Chain A
Amino acid sequence: MKLIVQPNTKQYDAYQKAGAKGLLLGLRDFCNDFALTHTIDEIETVKKNFPDLEIFVSLDKMIYDSDLSLLKKHLLALDAMNITGILFYDFALLKLKQELQLKVDLVWNQTHMVTNYKTCEYYYHKGVKYAYLSSEITLDEMLEIKEKSQITCMALLYGYPVVAHSKRKLLHNYGTFLKQTIPNELTVTEPVSKQRYKIKENELGTTFFSEILLNGSKPYLEMLKHDFPYGILKEEGTDSSLFLEMVSSFVTMNETWKTKSDEEKQDWVVRMSQKMGSDHTGFFYQKTIYKVKKNEKS
């Protein structure tokens, strides 16, 4: 498996030394879900300085007609850099790839909607090479997608998942109501479940992140067995030195898992959980329900 880092700092050299095979960078002003974003020039510099790293660039914002002119310019610039792939949310990217005859590969990244093999296959036949699977599906579903689609799959293994995105300036609005200045980052708690969410606001709107660290070390071992192609390790919200340690640990397991006994692998999962301070496996082993019985309604 290739391990890709979604960085929150610019210590690219350290990520490479830790064994990451690539970087996932957010393009400034075209990306909702990244705290650290990069300009086109910065991406070009990273690409030049780290030629051995696969560079993926995320353009996950909702595209409006007023964005199209600049978007075309950015796409042409990224195409010329020979990066590995562009993550897209909006269908506009598919149309622009055709119109501009871009050579760069696309990564289907509709956050919560990359959930089945049939749609992955649809995108593959539209020329999309990769799919960044939703964090809200199970490990079994991910492995089935990998088996039944020709698309190259990616999945988040470590980090704080994105939960929702609104165009509304929800923190600013809350502050206006309170007649107070509210910072553009706030942690809230849902009182029944006691779950905490980080809310961040910028000029594109408001984004919600889970405050529970996703620990994908256990499913990672299963994914390795199935030759799952890409894993994403997300730094935002984590301690930088701990993050590098995590990258190294995932990389080491990637290189050695075939020689490890089941017991050793189990020990590794336990140690990873202790270091991370989280044994939360998200939806890897938890199926969501949707046909709600009357007594399950909240």
Chain B
Amino acid sequence: MKKVELLSPAGDLERLKITLLYGADAVYIGGQEYSLRANANNFSIEEIKEGCQFAHVCNKKVYLTLNIVFHNEDIDQVESYIEQVVEAGIDAFIVSDPFIISYIKEHFPQVEVHMSTQNSTTNSKAIEFLKQEGIDRVVLARELSKEQIKEIIQKTQVDIECFIHGAMCTCYSGRCALSNYVTNRDSNRGGCSQVCRFAFDVEGQKEKFTMATKDLNMAHYIKDMIEIGVTSLKVEGRMRSLYYLATVIGSYRKIIDAYYNNTLTDELLKEQDEILSRVANRETSSHYFTKEATWQDQYYTGRQELSNQDFLALVLSYEEKTKCLTMRQRNYFQVGDQVEIFMPSGKVVPLVIQELYNEEMQPIEVARHPEEVLHIYCDEEIEPNSMMRWKGSEKSEVL
């Protein structure tokens, strides 16, 4: 049985490396052109090259989003851009405009082409057509149920990718121009202003009309998705933070590995669900997977987002001889706090902050300056790129 792929977003080179270290099998990134997140940092050709080299050394893959809906003015340079990013080493393109499929397959047959969820593919006949055109994988619409996904896989035998975690569009992807009309920002070319999270006035009603959705969380259905034959499990969020990605990818890595090792238990799922909830900034739901989405999968009052201060520090290095841990501060903590360090390998080390030192090794009581370099002592060896967070969730979320 081929192991399911865990696919992570990465908004920049640092996040690409971290998410691969924390267990993603592949990452999807946006270049500086033709990507649906025009406001993300996005990768230059040189960064794509470095990212691909890093991924390939780890025996992992990099996919590039080329999924804008093209306007005439976007077309002239696209072929030379494709050539450049293929040379940089990418393994697959994620596209939504079908004219590109045959161009890539004809000129760069070694590179895969995946149909983006922007096309909202919902049936097997559409996939049969895309298969004829040379598509290697289809990212299905997020509106499908388990039974519908299963039927499509059985009928088409095409690699299928499904979203498992992150923000959801209210409308079918590609079938929404609310951003164009309300803010003049082109939703299908990376300018989406998320109008579906706005609140609208209704004449005669005190309560505003809202349609914002809760986020997707499929942690409890990974087993089902693997067993119906999904090829790739995709996490949403190229704009998400380093800490979010490390946590989410780390959790899904544990769930997937536990499934294949026959160690997946309700207890492990509960534990991972708790960890996932600590980085969530909205409530979550499985939306369409087991039932039609209902009123309970949406929000009805204003903004419901929480900021998150769970991430305390990023580990830079550990000196085995002195047991000194060097890290970069991200959020407030102090001597006496109970914290834990989670590592790329999945290991978690609990500890109480007994002493705390600044960059000059002067003792301090409180870490209050983001980006400040700090030192603590820790008996257990800590891997580089580990992250420190609160132990338990008592201090993790503030409004």
Bound CA span A136–B68, Å: 14
**Interface residue B259 (Cβ < 8 Å from any Cβ of A):** no
With a cutoff of 8 Å between Cβ atoms, the chain A residues found around residue B295 in the complex are 172-174, 176-177
Chief secondary structure at chain A's binding surface? mixed
Q: Can you offer 9 A-B residue contacts whose CB atoms are under 8 A? A: A62-B141, A65-B152, A67-B123, A95-B126, A119-B97, A119-B98, A187-B202, A289-B184, A290-B189
Q: Which residue from A62, A91, A289 sits with its C-beta under 8 Å from B185? A: A289
- State which residues 123-139 of B face A: CB under 8 Å: 123-130, 132
Q: Which residue from B170, B172, B178, B190 sits with its C-beta under 8 Å from A170? A: B170
B200 touches A112 (CB 8 A): no
Closest residue of chain A to B78 (Cβ to Cβ) is A118
A188 touches B200 (CB 8 A): yes
Q: Which residue from A68, A119, A191 sits with its C-beta under 8 Å from B99? A: A119
**Interface residue A164 (Cβ < 8 Å from any Cβ of B):** yes
Bound CA span A191–B207, Å: 13
Q: Which of B96, B177, B210 counts the most A-chain CB atoms under 10 A from its CB?
A: B177
**Interface residue B209 (Cβ < 8 Å from any Cβ of A):** yes
Q: Which residue from A137, A141, A164, A288 sits with its C-beta under 8 Å from B176? A: A164
Once A119-B99, A136-B177, A164-B178 are accepted as A-B contacts, the answer to whether A289 and B71 lie under 8 Å apart by CB is no
Once A117-B72, A137-B71, A291-B38 are accepted as A-B contacts, the answer to whether A111 and B126 lie under 8 Å apart by CB is no
B75 touches A292 (CB 8 A): no
- State which residues 109-157 of B face A: CB under 8 Å: 119-130, 132, 141, 143-144, 148, 151-152, 155
A167 touches B172 (CB 8 A): yes
A298 touches B98 (CB 8 A): no
Q: Bits for A105-138, please: 1 = Cβ < 8 Å to B, else 0.
A: 0000011110111110110000000000000110
Closest chain-B Cβ to A188's Cβ sits at a distance in Å of 4
**Interface residue B84 (Cβ < 8 Å from any Cβ of A):** no
A95 touches B129 (CB 8 A): yes
With a cutoff of 8 Å between Cβ atoms, the chain B residues found around residue A297 in the complex are 39, 193
Closest residue of chain B to A32 (Cβ to Cβ) is B175
- State which residues 203-227 of B face A: CB under 8 Å: 203, 205, 207, 209-211, 213
Number of A interface residues in the complex (CB < 8 A): 63
**Interface residue B74 (Cβ < 8 Å from any Cβ of A):** yes
Q: Which residue from A90, A115, A121, A190 sits with its C-beta under 8 Å from B122? A: A90
**Interface residue A210 (Cβ < 8 Å from any Cβ of B):** yes
Bound CA span A116–B70, Å: 6
Bound CA span A115–B99, Å: 12
**Interface residue B377 (Cβ < 8 Å from any Cβ of A):** no
Once A91-B126, A168-B170 are accepted as A-B contacts, the answer to whether A210 and B181 lie under 8 Å apart by CB is yes
Bound CA span A161–B295, Å: 27
A65 touches B151 (CB 8 A): yes
- State which residues 282-298 of A face B: CB under 8 Å: 283, 286, 288-292, 297-298
Bound CA span A210–B176, Å: 12
**Interface residue A278 (Cβ < 8 Å from any Cβ of B):** no
**Interface residue A2 (Cβ < 8 Å from any Cβ of B):** no
Bound CA span A119–B78, Å: 13
Once A165-B172, A178-B207 are accepted as A-B contacts, the answer to whether A94 and B129 lie under 8 Å apart by CB is yes
Closest chain-B Cβ to A30's Cβ sits at a distance in Å of 13
With a cutoff of 8 Å between Cβ atoms, the chain A residues found around residue B74 in the complex are 116
Q: Bits for A176-195, please: 1 = Cβ < 8 Å to B, else 0.
A: 11100000001111110101
B123 touches A64 (CB 8 A): yes
